[in-house]
Amino acid sequence: MAKETREFQAETRELLDLMINSIYTNKEIFLRELISNASDAIDKVHFVSLTNSELLGEDTEYQIFLIPDKNTHTLTISDNGIGMNREEVIENIGTIAKSGTKAFLEQLKNSKEEGSIDENLIGQFGVGFYAAFMVADKVTLITKRAGETEATRWESAGDGSYSVEEAQKEARGTSITLTLKEEFYKEGAELDLTDTYAIQNLVKKYSDYVRYPIKMNFVVEETPKDDEGNPIKDAEKIKKNELRTLNSMTPLWTKNKSELKDEDYNEFFKQEFHEWEAPMEVFHTKAEGNVTYTALLGIPGHAPFNLYHTNYEPGISLYSRHVFIMDKCKDLLPDYLGFIKGLVDSPDFSLNISRELLQQSAELKTIGRAIEKNILKTLERNLKNKREDYEKFWNEYGKSIKIGIYNSMYSGFDTVDKLKNLLLFKTSKEGKLASLKEYVERMPESQKQIYYATAKDEATIEKLPQMELLRDKNIEVLYLLDPVDEFAIETIREYEGKTFHSISRGDLDLGDEESKEAQKETEEIAKTNDDLIKDIKEVLGSKVAEVKISGRLKSSAVCLVADEAGPSLSMEQTFAEMNNPMFKARRILEINPHHDLFGKLKSVYTEGKDSQDFKDYCDLLYTQALIIEGILPENPVDFANKIAKLMAK
């Protein structure tokens, strides 16, 4: 096929621009990215060859070559992996298929404007190949897909377009030649990428345990020897090529924990899982017995940007006797641990088993359960003993745990018991995070329920009329600030025999003597105002299920609560946002009988219960209560007109 020149997709171009204009200070990592791609490509060809023995032909020795060239100022990275055909080159290299790219660019630009670039961002978005443009003016890729005859040449100067054309290449695999920027080959360069020793150092540093040999030719000088093998004095040295393997290739997880340092683990996660920062927790376990396995897993320092999107793929790789079987295995761990990255190596996994069968295998399930238990135990231990670390974990991944609890209706209710002790919520006590256990331990004897409030932020909760009485009585309230929180709490139902109670739902029975008195008083007032209450309900019609005299309000005139049964107001809003408007809360309007407004309402009512004024008052009270809950009035113009009319009086 003829040579064609194509434009990069807009997002790719933007990303290239950022790369070239050095968004990332540590440019040397480009090599890790390219080697990592090469190693992935070899994994892939190996995997396919398991069921297609002809595929490899004579080329069975997997390897990656690095070829620096001082004359042409180039560095070539070459592999005998799976390679790509023309369509794949265009698909994989010409576009960034990842849906999060746009969001990524936004974040990147923002952080650039603020003057610092968050380097962790790049890795999260898997833009590894483009890192080549940080050190190269031009990138040339020649590749041949295993089993196919035609090769493809792709080239770009990172200037908005690239070319693709047919090429000649004998062996399968990919060869990427970087035409280096001057600063990476000139005399006295800080990092000379045409220098074999500089490259050797980079490989040692970043890619030592890549499981395929990374080879490079070194030119070594030797003193000639005489017939007896002794060096000839004063003879001119001879230059010789010597092919060396740069990496040790020992899979890190097979080593003993005691041999390994934090840095080893950190580099491993960066290399293997395209992480850009150290994991916040590492689990390195070996088990023998019922099932035999080694697991090396970690919790990434930050949650991936798309963790809660449907396109997120959990990242556990499986190995059998150190040979890669598959990546992104999603059936090993439960969904709520989807943020865990790492690998499991077990001789109990069969190499030739299909992906589908493996995912259903009993061994996989047994290993998964053991690992899950271990992770949860560590998290609980951290909550107890390493509070600061745990809170950092919670801020990144707490949502996963809460979703896990909510989803237990599908995954089995034992999940609730496994996870409930891991929960943390801000509370009205000093705005700090507390576990349910801590909350319950602090409860006064008379308190029978665990109280919670929902809103989008703390400030809104603190201003809720429903908070007044609880604050007055110094009762601690859990703050549920994420829509998923209330769903999780509703799923748990009770903790150590204490039920959960939303301060915006049902009656508020605080259980103490004083409250009982107040309750009686409220009932009295309700009785004497029975007609008024009924007529307010009539005016409001189906907007509310009930109108009540409130025992919980101190300084506010009204509030809206939901019935005990059925969803709360905030759940109703969440459902509506998910286009599920069927789930409606049963709204109860509570009126504060001690507020001046109540007196006024009564007098307007006595003057004429069918008057427009009374109707307007009822309507305004209801709309106020809605607004306090963060719900917009159905008819804002009508609301404003009624207020204007009242103000003009």
Interface residues with ligand ADP (CB under 6 A) are 33, 37-38, 41, 79, 81-84, 92-93, 126-129, 174, 274
How many angstroms separate the CA atoms of 285 and 375, rounded? 11
Which residue number, 78 or 454, has a Cβ lying nearer to ligand ADP? 78
Which residue number, 174 or 346, has a Cβ lying nearer to ligand ADP? 174
**Distance of closest approach, residue 95 Cβ to ligand ADP, in angstroms:** 10
DSSP of 544-592:
-SEEEE-SS-SS-SEEEEE-SSS--HHHHHHHHHTT-TT----EEEEE-
Dihedral over Cα of 101, 104, 110, 113: its sign: negative
* Cα–Cα–Cα angle for 360, 366, 384, rounded to 5 degrees: 130
CA distances (Å), 138 to each of 130, 179, 181, in order?
Answer: 11, 5, 8
Which residue number, 128 or 342, has a Cβ lying nearer to ligand ADP? 128
CA distances (Å), 542 to each of 181, 505, 548, 586, 587, in order?
Answer: 72, 18, 15, 10, 9
Which residue number, 192 or 327, has a Cβ lying nearer to ligand ADP? 327
**Distance of closest approach, residue 383 Cβ to ligand ADP, in angstroms:** 34
Which residue number, 79 or 616, has a Cβ lying nearer to ligand ADP? 79
**Distance of closest approach, residue 84 Cβ to ligand ADP, in angstroms:** 5
**Distance of closest approach, residue 7 Cβ to ligand ADP, in angstroms:** 18
* Cα–Cα–Cα angle for 89, 214, 282, rounded to 5 degrees: 90
Which residue number, 34 or 333, has a Cβ lying nearer to ligand ADP? 34
User: Are residues 31 and 203 in contact, defined by beta-carbon separation less than 8 angstroms?
Assistant: yes
**Distance of closest approach, residue 38 Cβ to ligand ADP, in angstroms:** 5
Residue 587: what residue type?
A: R
Which residue number, 57 or 511, has a Cβ lying nearer to ligand ADP? 57
Closest CA to 414 of 422, 404, 400, 399: 404
Dihedral over Cα of 104, 105, 111, 115: its sign: positive
* Cα–Cα–Cα angle for 357, 358, 362, rounded to 5 degrees: 100
What do you get for the CA distance between the two ends of the chain, in Å?
A: 83
How many angstroms separate the CA atoms of 445 and 436, rounded? 16
Which residue number, 44 or 498, has a Cβ lying nearer to ligand ADP? 44
**Distance of closest approach, residue 332 Cβ to ligand ADP, in angstroms:** 21
72 DSSP assignment: T
CB count within 10 Å of CB 186 equals 13
Distance from the Cα of residue 194 to its chain's centroid: 38
**Distance of closest approach, residue 371 Cβ to ligand ADP, in angstroms:** 25
Residue 573: what residue type?
A: Q
**Distance of closest approach, residue 391 Cβ to ligand ADP, in angstroms:** 31
Which residue number, 129 or 312, has a Cβ lying nearer to ligand ADP? 129
**Distance of closest approach, residue 102 Cβ to ligand ADP, in angstroms:** 16
Cβ-based neighbours of 114, under 8 Å, separated by 6 or more: none
**Distance of closest approach, residue 326 Cβ to ligand ADP, in angstroms:** 15
Distance from the Cα of residue 39 to its chain's centroid: 25
How many angstroms separate the CA atoms of 300 and 311, rounded? 18
Distance from the Cα of residue 110 to its chain's centroid: 20
CB count within 10 Å of CB 589 equals 25
Closest CA to 123 of 325, 400, 341: 341
**Distance of closest approach, residue 243 Cβ to ligand ADP, in angstroms:** 21
Which residue number, 77 or 401, has a Cβ lying nearer to ligand ADP? 77
Which residue number, 133 or 495, has a Cβ lying nearer to ligand ADP? 133
**Distance of closest approach, residue 274 Cβ to ligand ADP, in angstroms:** 6
Distance from the Cα of residue 631 to its chain's centroid: 30
Residue 605: what residue type?
A: Y
User: Are residues 498 and 440 in contact, defined by beta-carbon separation less than 8 angstroms?
Assistant: yes
**Distance of closest approach, residue 69 Cβ to ligand ADP, in angstroms:** 19
How many angstroms separate the CA atoms of 118 and 121, rounded? 6
**Distance of closest approach, residue 176 Cβ to ligand ADP, in angstroms:** 7
Which residue number, 128 or 593, has a Cβ lying nearer to ligand ADP? 128
How many angstroms separate the CA atoms of 528 and 621, rounded? 20
Which residue number, 130 or 397, has a Cβ lying nearer to ligand ADP? 130
Which residue number, 129 or 305, has a Cβ lying nearer to ligand ADP? 129
Using DSSP's 3-state secondary structure scheme, residue 76 falls into strand
Which residue number, 24 or 575, has a Cβ lying nearer to ligand ADP? 24
Dihedral of the CA atoms 531, 533, 535, 538 (nearest 10)? -140
* Angle of the 636-648 helix axis to the 612-628 helix axis, nearest 10: 120
**Distance of closest approach, residue 306 Cβ to ligand ADP, in angstroms:** 13
